[in-house]
């Protein structure tokens, strides 16, 4: 049985507040998801950093730098409030990963010129917020795959994410199955697109390649009985990754087990009662077995609607509207020393307490 995706994830809306620009560095991956798609649905302006020079003379109430600090836009003076959307921005610069400016450099050289930050979890807000307005805005669901509600006959555990580090650990320990289910790693559509862009000397349509990648990805998720979002091998500085590897399979009606120390996954802990979070392979094995045996069916059925609602487009839109309103209340410049009321927002939009400034928390290095 199949159900249509949550309608809220597909609704087109217009922004009721302000004049906003989204500025990704490039148009792939998060630049597409958090930049182009979000800007389009909000009715905002999309500027790619390398072509933003054409916007000289324009002025925006809010400029959102997606995953990168666009120094060109910052220097042009076209924004009243600048906001950094962290996504999975690395601590130090990484030109191989196209991160010319890391978080360390942002804090040292640019944070004082920013009014706000968009983050993936409450703990990340506590640890890394250094501007007047900080809000948790998770990835909204944007996959084109259709949920399948009955997965009892499926025999695959899917490892979500492109690093596939868990697969290497499991294979290295001699695991080919978990609780009798075959282990399969998520395919990498981007690599498939790059490797097949030229076929028999002829350049293929990028639109056709994107469609092939979508079919490849959806076919993978259709095969799954259980999904695993596992980032254990990441360094501590990357425990603030976005949570879509956990939430996307849940929206697709796949019971999903997540690494317990990834902060964004814990945002949904209350919905699942902690039953779908694990910190070691022993827990992972027993939880896969419990899901396969049906012991967690009722818990997942209660959890899923709450996650679907949280990552729906309507909820995402509301988070951005609150962010814009919080920035507007701060006045013309929301730097730390000019905005009297600091604002910290949880994933549900409620205010998060903040007992100290970033400088106080990090004064010891």
**Residue 259 contacts residue 283 (beta carbons within 8 Å):** no
Both structure tokens of 71 = 């120094």
Instruction: State residue 328's pLDDT score.
Output: 87
Half-sphere exposure of 271 (CA within 13 A, CB side): 20
**Residue 261 contacts residue 191 (beta carbons within 8 Å):** no
Instruction: State residue 362's pLDDT score.
Output: 54
**Residue 83 contacts residue 117 (beta carbons within 8 Å):** yes
- Helix, strand, coil percentages, rounded to 5, for the chain: 40, 20, 40
Q: Bridge partners of 184?
A: 158
Which three-class secondary structure state does DSSP give residue 250? helix
Rounded-to-integer distance, Cα 171 and Cα 180, Å: 15
DSSP letter at 187 equals P
Instruction: State residue 339's pLDDT score.
Output: 60
| Other residues' Cβ atoms within 10 Å of the Cβ of residue 238 | 14
Which three-class secondary structure state does DSSP give residue 92? coil
b/e map of 103-113 (b: 16 or more CB within 10 Å)? Answer: bebbbeebbee
State CA 230 to chain mean position distance: 15
What does the pLDDT profile of the chain (365 residues) look like in tens digits? 444 344 333 344 445 556 999 999 887 788 889 999 999 999 999 999 988 877 778 889 999 999 999 999 998 988 889 999 999 887 876 654 455 678 888 999 999 999 999 999 999 999 999 999 999 999 999 898 999 999 999 999 999 986 667 888 888 889 989 999 999 998 875 544 444 444 444 455 556 666 777 888 999 999 999 999 987 666 666 789 999 999 999 999 999 999 999 999 999 988 988 999 999 999 999 999 999 999 999 999 999 999 999 999 999 999 999 999 999 887 654 444 456 668 999 999 999 986 455 555 555 44
pTM: 0.87
**Dihedrals phi, psi of 311, to nearest 5 degrees:** -105, 15
**Residue 88 contacts residue 47 (beta carbons within 8 Å):** no
Please state whether beta strands 277-278 and 256-259 pair in parallel, antiparallel, or not at all (unpaired).
parallel
Instruction: State residue 209's pLDDT score.
Output: 61
**Residue 24 contacts residue 36 (beta carbons within 8 Å):** yes
Structure-token match 């690494």, residue found = 259
Instruction: State residue 334's pLDDT score.
Output: 43
Half-sphere exposure of 126 (CA within 13 A, CB side): 9
């Amino acid at each position: 049985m199949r159900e249509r995706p949550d309608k809220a994830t597909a609704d087109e809306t217009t922004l009721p507040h302000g004049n906003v620009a989204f500025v990704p560095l490039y148009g792939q991956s998060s630049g597409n998801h958090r930049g182009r798609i979000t800007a389009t649905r909000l009715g905002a302006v999309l500027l790619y950093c390398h072509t933003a020079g054409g916007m000289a003379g324009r002025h925006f109430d809010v400029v959102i730098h997606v995953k990168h600090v666009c120094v060109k836009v910052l220097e042009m003076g076209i924004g009243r409030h600048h906001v950094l959307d962290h996504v999975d921005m690395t601590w130090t610069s990484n030109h191989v990963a196209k991160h010319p400016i890391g978080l360390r450099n942002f804090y040292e050289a640019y944070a004082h010129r920013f009014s706000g930050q968009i983050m993936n979890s409450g703990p990340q807000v506590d640890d890394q917020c250094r501007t007047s307005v900080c809000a948790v805005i998770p990835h909204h669901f944007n996959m084109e795959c259709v949920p399948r509600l009955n997965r009892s006959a499926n025999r695959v555990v899917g490892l979500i994410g492109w690093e596939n580090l868990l697969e290497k650990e499991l294979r290295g320990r001699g695991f080919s199955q978990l609780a009798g289910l075959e282990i399969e790693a998520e395919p990498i559509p981007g690599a498939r697109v790059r490797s097949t862009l030229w076929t028999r000397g002829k350049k293929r349509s990028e639109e056709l390649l994107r469609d092939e990648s979508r079919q490849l990805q959806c076919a993978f998720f259709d095969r799954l009985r259980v999904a695993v979002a596992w980032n254990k091998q990441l360094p501590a500085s990357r425990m603030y990754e976005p949570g879509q590897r956990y939430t996307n399979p849940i929206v697709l009606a796949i019971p999903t087990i997540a690494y317990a120390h990834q902060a964004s996954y814990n945002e949904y802990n209350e919905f699942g009662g902690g039953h779908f979070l694990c910190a070691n392979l022993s827990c992972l094995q027993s939880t896969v077995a419990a899901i396969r045996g049906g012991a967690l069916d009722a818990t997942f059925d209660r959890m899923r609607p709450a996650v679907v609602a949280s990552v729906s487009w309507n909820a995402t839109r509301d988070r951005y509207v609150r962010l814009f309103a919080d920035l507007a209340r701060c006045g013309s410049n929301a730097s730390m020393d000019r905005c009297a009321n600091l604002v910290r927002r949880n994933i549900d939009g409620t205010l998060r307490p903040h007992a100290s400034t970033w400088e106080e928390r990090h004064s010891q290095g």
